[in-house]
Structure 1
Amino acid sequence: MSMITLFRTSQIYALDQIKNVLASHIRQLPDKVSSIGVPLKILRYEFPCEPVDILTWLHNQHVPCKIYWSGRGKGTFEIGGIGVADVVEGKDDINYTEVFALMEDRLCLDNPNLRYYGGVSFYGAAGDPAWQSFGGYRFVVPRFELLRREDQTVLAFNIAFKDIDKDNVAAILEELDRIDFAPTTTYRRPPKVTARHDYPDRQGWEAAFAQTKGEGGKFRYDKIVLARKSVFDFDVYIDPVALLKHLKDKTSQCFHFCFQTDKTAAFLGASPERLYKRVGDRIETEAVAGTSPRGASREEEAALERELLNCSKNALEHRYVVDAIREALGGLCADVRADAKARLVKLEGGQHLVTRFESVLHPGVYDNAIIARLHPTPAVAGCPKEEALRAIHEIEPFDRGWYAGPVGYVGHEQSEFAVAIRSALVNHDKLSLYAGAGIVEGSTAQGEWNEIETKIGNFIDVFNRK
């Protein structure tokens, strides 16, 4: 066994007493460590507490490193984390087998709530200096977590055995003392936009779109997804957690995430797309492709629904993703079950076609194999995959970084990743918004440009709040 939970209780603590209770346990660690375990293990304390809004708590903490994750929809798992108890990271391309083995060595069955949170870049090594602090991959066990599962709120503390000595414990106690459990906060109003630059701009987009066609105007690929980066300058620095709060208020049916590496450096977003969820040996995934706006009236909404469901271009784009996921799962699972036909999923400002899959993994199949086979899907790359990836790298005038990569968490019994679309990179007073469009035979440059504008609309609406 490579990990244990040192302390767990069913008692519910008041917010004004929980720090003192946890501090008393932390102080005893240097005297207990030699009789408890080995350096590889990570100890975890869990204390149920009075309910407090997770984002409120996270916003009130004045620390550089913050993590936020919430599942899709109401009542799902939600966590805010601060500090670093353990980290698995690298600047280069990820070796999924090695990286996931490092995390699995520290994860065990009797500590199901200990998880690594993080993500992987779309390409691997970061080329743009703005992405340097995120690297090719980065997974963190937070030092302190406030999480909500079902109807219970829990404060958790994590520490690796190798870090248990009197000096470290003294520093951790100081960190604990600075944690603010105030039940309310004041979110700053979104700052004012002073400039916007698109990469590529309209002319560049037309040129990029033209590169998807060969002689005689014949489309070169079955499908290719080209993205755009829109950089907004603001009059003051951006508060990542405040921005996520405003975004989450508008995007309830999405996964929400924020990986903050410094006070004004973060990657955050509201993604409608699950890459996969694993619970034990069961896996769920989905194909999300095909997009249209929402209607301003009931009649317009119904017309747009019919258009999306019957549009040959959207049906073709969706089918490529469905076929690719089915093929990927075929090497991982014994029996793949999928929706008989695509459904509509409605979001604020847009709607998509979705086909859901579920199955049981073959014995010996773990997260490293799942993520390596599923990422990237044709929903964010294209097909044939390798040809599309080469073209994206040549055509797009920017580094995708973590955009469209897998973000989520890894645990022993459960792991979940979303696809990091509808996302943004915060860099002091600049915000880079990323979104892409699936291009197939019949697509138009104007239509795909408009689709991208729809996809970043929720962010732009946040800026325009009065």
Structure 2
Amino acid sequence: MSNLKQAAKRLSEQITDYLQQKQTVLVCFQVKINNVDLLAWLKSQTAYPQFYLNFRDKTKILAASGKVRAFSDLDAAQEFIEQYDYPLVGGLQFQGYGQFVLPQFLLVQSENSTALNCFVEGADSASTALAALKTLSNTTPLSPLPKQIPLCTERRADRQTWCDWVNQALFEIRQGKLSKLVLANETRLHLKQSINAYDFLAESEKYNQGCYHFLWAENPNSQFVGSTPERLFVREYNVFLTEALAGTAPVSDDPQENQRQADWLLRDEKNRNENWLVVQDIAQNLRDLTETFEVGELELKPLRKVQHLLRKIRADLAAHYQDAALLNAIHPTAAVSGLPQQQAKMILSKIETFERGWYAGTFGVMSKTDAEFCVAIRSAFIESHRIRVFAGAGIVEGSQPLEEWQEIERKAAGLISLFAKNQ
């Protein structure tokens, strides 16, 4: 296997030959290289968009930069995959806007090696790739985050406003319009020292374990990053894995208290019901796409600041499955929106005073043989000296406004504590 400099040279020779033959077809040149720090590599790249995904349950990391093709339409993305059998990376925002790309460079790292893929289509694409190869081997060391007290902290909803939002949701539930509504808040922190998104995510990978870690950047001025515990789905051929992650209790530095909270969470009827609503929603949405549907036992998902109830779900897909159909059917789940889904989204647009955008959306990779997507919660926009952090809570009958406020503050602290003093 080669290093990045050797790989760049080999790719340059292949692309030059492609140009000399005046080819126009879409091709993929691949070189196996020794493993490198993909966040440090992505930090030094200048082509956009940029994509990064460190998988939760397997030793696999993706990093991508630049684009050869882009799709905002999910069906068009699916048609491309069916025609070319190349993977696409990207995702869907909460309200369903899509952005999938075939990147110029896609690095796929496993435990022992990394596959460096370079996609080229026509002379212009090949010339762009050749220019990018000059800096392909660059990496920029990741740095510790400066600990600081934010100059200013603003919340879209302060505690009283949040309690009002929860009471509005409870009113809708009691009127029979909803069984669940997932409210979210946005916290804006203004800092003296700017934060680098790649350093931020590297720090989160250290401390927020048991998560997917992702980055999406359409330009150098704003990066959306997160460390999410929640899987949307995994597909391997026709085997489909998803989960219901809902119901929350705090985690502290006291192991005995954490155990008491865990025991309470497993027994608490309100949290168990919240989780089961997600299971029912997934089952309903997938009923026409699956041949079997199995729900696992209730278990715990412990994290750094909170712990959740989790039910794993396995299904066998019916013939002619496609990821576009699966995404349309399952996203967004009741774990991030509510039930019934369309009614919940409409009410959220009236209560929340901000656009969720990528928050509670989904990011991942899809191909003919397999796909995997996470749910983009526990996330933030990094914009130099400003950080916008998002956190949400599921509201059902029995929810208490102040308890839900404490829950979203704990969830947001999973990211804010990485750079803010006294968090």
- TM class, shorter-length: over 0.9
Secondary structure (helix, strand or coil) at the match of 1:178 reads coil
Q: Which amino acid aligns with 2:45?
A: Q
**Which residue number in structure 1 is paired with residue 155 of structure 2?**
198
CA deviations over 1:28-66 (Å, ceiling 9, x no partner): 1123354xxx64xx3111111122121122223244532
SS at match of 2:84: coil
Contact 2:82–2:368 (CA<8 Å) still a contact in 1?
no
2:71 counterpart of 1:88: yes
Give the alignment of 1:27-176 within 5 angstroms.
27-34=16-23, 39=25, 42-73=26-57, 75-89=58-72, 96=74, 98-108=75-85, 114-124=86-96, 136-160=97-121, 164-165=122-123, 168-176=125-133
- Tell me, yes or no, if the aligned pair for 1:237 and 1:264 is still in contact at 8 Å: no
Q: Does 1:365 align with 2:321?
A: yes
SS of 2:39's equivalent?
helix
Q: State the AA in 1 paired with 2:81.
A: E
For residues 213 and 316 of structure 2, the distance between their equivalents in structure 1, rounded to whole angstroms, comes to 27
Deviations 1:291-347 (A, max 9, x none): 1112422321211110110111111111101111122222211111121x2111111
Q: Quote the Cα distance in structure 2 between the aligned partners of 1:215 and 1:255.
A: 33
Q: 1:304-319 residue pairs with structure 2 within 5 A?
A: 304-319=261-276
Partner amino acid, structure 2, of 1:298: P
Over residues 45-95 of structure 1, what are the superposed CA-to-partner deviations in whole Å (9 max), with x where a residue is unaligned? 11111221211222232445321012104x422011111122113xxxx5x
- 2:180 match: 223
Runs of 4 or more consecutive aligned structure 1 residues displaced over 6 Å after TM superposition: 215-219
Number of matched residues?
421
SS in 1 for 2:12: helix
Provide the C-alpha distance between the structure 2 equivalents of 1:157 and 1:240, rounded to a whole number of angstroms: 25
User: Is this contact kept in 1: 2:27–2:119, CA < 8 A?
Assistant: yes
Q: Is the 8 A contact 1:324 1:378 kept in 2?
A: yes
- Answering whether residue 365 of structure 2 is matched by residue 422 of structure 1, we say no
Q: Deviations over 1:116-168 (max 9, x none)?
A: 111111124xxxxxxxxxxx2211122122221242222221112xxx22x55
Q: Which amino acid aligns with 1:27?
A: T
> What's the Cα RMSD here?
2.2
Of residues 191-200 and 288-297 in structure 1, the stretch that sits farther from structure 2 once superposed is 191-200
Shift of 1:180: 3.1
Summarize the alignment of residues 300-449 of structure 1 with structure 2, pairs less than 5 Å apart. 300-339=257-296, 341-449=297-405
For residues 331 and 355 of structure 1, what CA distance do their matches in structure 2 show? 21
TM-score for both structures, normalised by structure 2: 0.93
Contact 1:14 1:50 in 2 (8 A): yes
Contact 2:51/2:64 (8 A) holds in 1:
yes
Q: Which amino acid aligns with 2:12?
A: A
Distance 2:377 2:369 in 1: 26
* Residue number in structure 2 paired with 1:18: 7
Q: Which amino acid letter does the alignment assign opposite residue 33 of structure 2?
A: C
Deviation of 1:188 (Å) = 5.5
Give ranges in structure 1 of 5+ residues lacking alignment. 1-11, 109-113, 125-135
Change (3 A) 1:369 1:62: closer
Which runs of 5 or more residues in structure 2 are unaligned? none
SS at match of 1:335: strand
- Alignment check: 8 A CA contact 1:191 1:236 kept: no
Distance 1:333 1:168, change over 3 A: closer
Spell out, residue by residue over 1:202-236, the C-alpha distance to the aligned partner (whole angstroms, 9 max, x if none): 22112212212449976753111111011111224
Find the aligned partners of 2:394 and 2:84 in 1 and give their Cα distance.
Answer: 38
Matched AA of 2:346: R
Q: Distance in 2 between matches of 1:390 and 1:170?
A: 46
Alpha carbons of structure 1 residues 386 and 62: separation in structure 2 relative to 1, 3 Å: closer
The residue type equivalent to 2:277 in the other structure is Y
* TM-score between the two structures when normalised by the length of structure 1: 0.85
Judged with a 3 Å threshold, the aligned counterparts in structure 2 of structure 1 residues 213 and 289 are, in CA distance, closer, same or farther, namely closer
One-letter amino acid of the counterpart of residue 52, structure 2: Y
Distance 1:168 1:63 in 2: 13
CA distance in 1, matches of 2:420, 2:193: 15
- Quick one: which amino acid aligns to residue 63 of structure 2? G
Alpha-carbon distance between aligned partners in 2 of 1:445 and 1:423, rounded to the nearest angstrom: 22
